[in-house]
Amino acid sequence: MQLSDPANVTQESLGRPPGPCAMVIFGAAGDLTKRMLIPALYNLAKGRMLPDQFAIIGVSIENFSTDQFRERTTKEIHEFATGGVDAKSWDWFSKRIYYVSGDFQDGNTYKKLKDCLDKAEKDQSTQGNCLFYLATSPQFFPIVVQNLGAAGLTKQENGKWRRVVIEKPFGHDLPSAIELNHSIGQVLEEKQVYRIDHYLGKETVQNILAFRFANGIFEPVWNRRYVDHVQVTVAEELGVELRGGYYETAGALRDMVPNHIFQLITLSAMEPPTSFDADAVHDEQTKVLRAIQPYSPERVLDQAVRGQYGEGMIDGKHVIAYRNEPHVAQDSQTPTYVAMALHIDSWRWAGVPFYLRTGKRLSKRSTQIVVRFRRPPLVLFRNTSVDKLTPNELVISIQPDEGISLNFEAKIPGPSVRLGAVNMDFQYSDYFGSTPSTGYETLIYDCMMGDPTLFQPAEMVEAAWTVVQPVLDVWKALPPRDFPNYAAGSWGPAQADELLHREGREWRDPTAGNSLHRIVRPQPQPATASS
């Protein structure tokens, strides 16, 4: 984890290459592999951030030979690479690709994998170190881990390391998360497990800690005395597309809140760790989750909002309702939008609400953290033309444009006292340039280096599910009556606005850039038969 580094996958930014190793990808024929993992590995290779003694072994049920899989991967990299494909770099990379065909539930698959690892070690001198990446459906997580253990592939001996990377979701509720952690723990030590959240591969997310703790002007005001509230928005323009089958079992709350959003909240709210060592950072993040006020059923009804998109317009194009998406039930009760108010019972944050919202088919793709500071008293300006003071805002933008902006008030030139909003705006691309990235480069590199700082330990996963479990329980017991309750292309249901309005607050509009414009909600349209 390189907190002070620019957003470039280069020798300078990431340091030295890892030691010799092989990376085994379960689910090698899937979308995640071709769209993210192979391009990320290629970016590392192009930046000379992979060891010379390196191999990639794809494992999937599709019946490819190694040569066929290399040909397929070579074709796909030209479609999904984040930048140009350098022929020399790809030639080096592709010669290190191997493939094993087999069923994840079949013990013979793991025998073939062991043979392939032995061949890769002989060909590429990987020295027995191995990173297993589970780019599979969640149902296979315990199955693959148990089979790896039974085949003796997780043993660490004679200085060789074995690590397993698990993609989210880490369970679908608190009991399943506990069960999954227990199942994995029967085979692996906790230090061998890397629960990955690709949001933490984004430079701006990693920069939250550097921004807070490396700048003396911000940390003194990062508390209840100066901060009015904090907003976290993770908005997507896209609908569920072809993932309706998965989304019907997940929904917006399970899919985004216990992982992506809670990572952003804990990094924003945590106390200074004693160091940037993984255990120290994780301890402080977990303390934040445990300090969140538990939701009673009454609080769920009052401070948690769910929504589902109906048909609407996005970028001038008509889009269908969630219930008309492929593999979605016509009477689906699955939420595609969630807004919640959280309260952290700590000395730093007592009385400061943290508002979160996430949803699909919203007006604009945007992920940002907004720190709204308290409004100063107006008394000094009583006899001027200033009738209201605008509170200062710090906006940490994570996607699509990574950067940080801070607004403050300044006097407008002229004989009378008038104030105008001024913005200090920092964009990563302006200061450090930009290198095409998938967001996985840093995470994969850290796995190979054995640095778990950007990965969730078991206790953090369970603490996150503990917070949202009461919401899941109430929503299961009380199905929504008003779905769909927001139009595609809007900013979600009106109840989400009311969540803030009753406290005299309002959501910041991500479409306003760095200015302080607010959301103007379009008039509700009558429901149609298709919604």
Q: Which residues are catalytic?
A: 260
Spatial separation of the C-alpha atoms in residues 260 and 269, rounded to whole Å: 15
340 in Cβ contact with 305 (< 8 Å): yes
CA–CA separation, 279 and 457 (whole Å) = 9
Dump strand ranges (E) for 270-336. Answer: 304-307, 309-310, 312-314, 317-319
Q: Which of 241, 281, 306, 400 is nearest to 3 (CA)?
A: 281
For 207, residues 6+ apart whose C-beta sits below 8 A from its C-beta are: 3, 404
In Å, how far from its chain's centre is CA 31?
Answer: 18
Neighbours of 384 (CB within 10 A): 12
485/488 Cα distance (integer angstroms): 10
Task: Pinpoint the alpha helices (H) of 156-271.
Answer: 174-185, 203-213, 244-256, 262-269
Question: Which residue from 338, 351, 363, 379 is spatially nearest to 472, judged by alpha carbons?
Answer: 338
**How far, in Å, CA of 155 to CA of 149, rounded?**
8
Q: What is d(CA 5, CA 10) in angstroms, rounded to the nearest whole number?
A: 10
**Of 134, 7, 6, residue with least CA distance to 447:** 134
Tokens representing residue 283 in the block: 């301890």
